[in-house]
A and B are shown apart, each in its own frame.
Chain A
Amino acid sequence: EAQVTQNPRYLITVTGKKLTVTCSQNMNHEYMSWYRQDPGLGLRQIYYSMNVEVTDKGDVPEGYKVSRKEKRNFPLILESPSPNQTSLYFCASKERGTQETQYFGPGTRLLVL
């Protein structure tokens, strides 16, 4: 089954404790992206990757890091989480081409205390 998976699905942590949210897709997609969803703001792009070892900032990259060492994986790293990073996070992937539809993972709900 073609899918995007994320782990963990739910996470409660404390300020400053490094964490990683994993994202994996089995569709051989080149493009992958992370979004965060906040009430009243919709989804906003954090980082994206056009291919292996090619990553770039989205609209809200502060406080986040990413890496793309393999085509299928695109982890999101919060090295020192803060309460304003409490949010719902989505990973997405798609084929090359502007017309291609993005496929979303199930989401990761993060609470930073």
Chain B
Amino acid sequence: AQTVTQSQPEMSVQEAETVTLSCTYDTSESNYYLFWYKQPPSRQMILVIRQEAYKQQNATENRFSVNFQKAAKSFSLKISDSQLGDTAMYFCAFTTGGTSYGKLTFGQGTILTVHP
């Protein structure tokens, strides 16, 4: 079975500091894609960053970057210079081809609170 585990139900950080959210996953597929989604209080699902499993280079989007460790099946999200608007639920997810084509498998989510 394909699974995603986010072991931190809640995290908090001071404004302007750096925080890292953890994610581990399990799949037997060799071709897959990993995502971090942000869900603010509005409940909208917003894509933060994506990583192709075949790429060794870690993805970066402005203040957001990932640490992708393929052998360890780990995919953590680092948020630098945290802002109040980063307060949200964050979901780690992945998708593969094959019989699970198109399905996003999500973790349980991590609630991040940024304090002024």
Contact = CB atoms under 8 A, between A and B. Distances in A.
Partners in one complex: yes
Interface of A: 31, 33, 35, 40-45, 48, 50, 58-59, 88, 90, 92, 94, 98-99, 101-102, 104, 106-107, 109
Interface string B92-106: 010111000111101
A98 B35 CA distance: 13
Interface SS majority for chain A: strand
Contacts of A90: 45
Nearest to B103: A45
Contact of A98 (B43, B44, B96, B107): B96
B4 A98 contact: no
Contacts of A33: 102-104
A90 B101 CA distance: 18
Nearest to B96: A98
A102 B104 CA distance: 9
Interface residues of B, number: 25
B102 A42 contact: no
B108 A42 contact: yes
Contacts of B42: 106
Contact of A40 (B47, B93, B95, B108): B108
B31 interface: yes
B108 to A, nearest CB: 5
A90 B46 CA distance: 12
Contacts of A50: 101-102
Name the residue among A40, A48, A99, A109 with the largest chain B CB count within 10 angstroms. Answer: A99
Given A42-B4, A42-B108, A106-B43, A98 B31 contact: yes
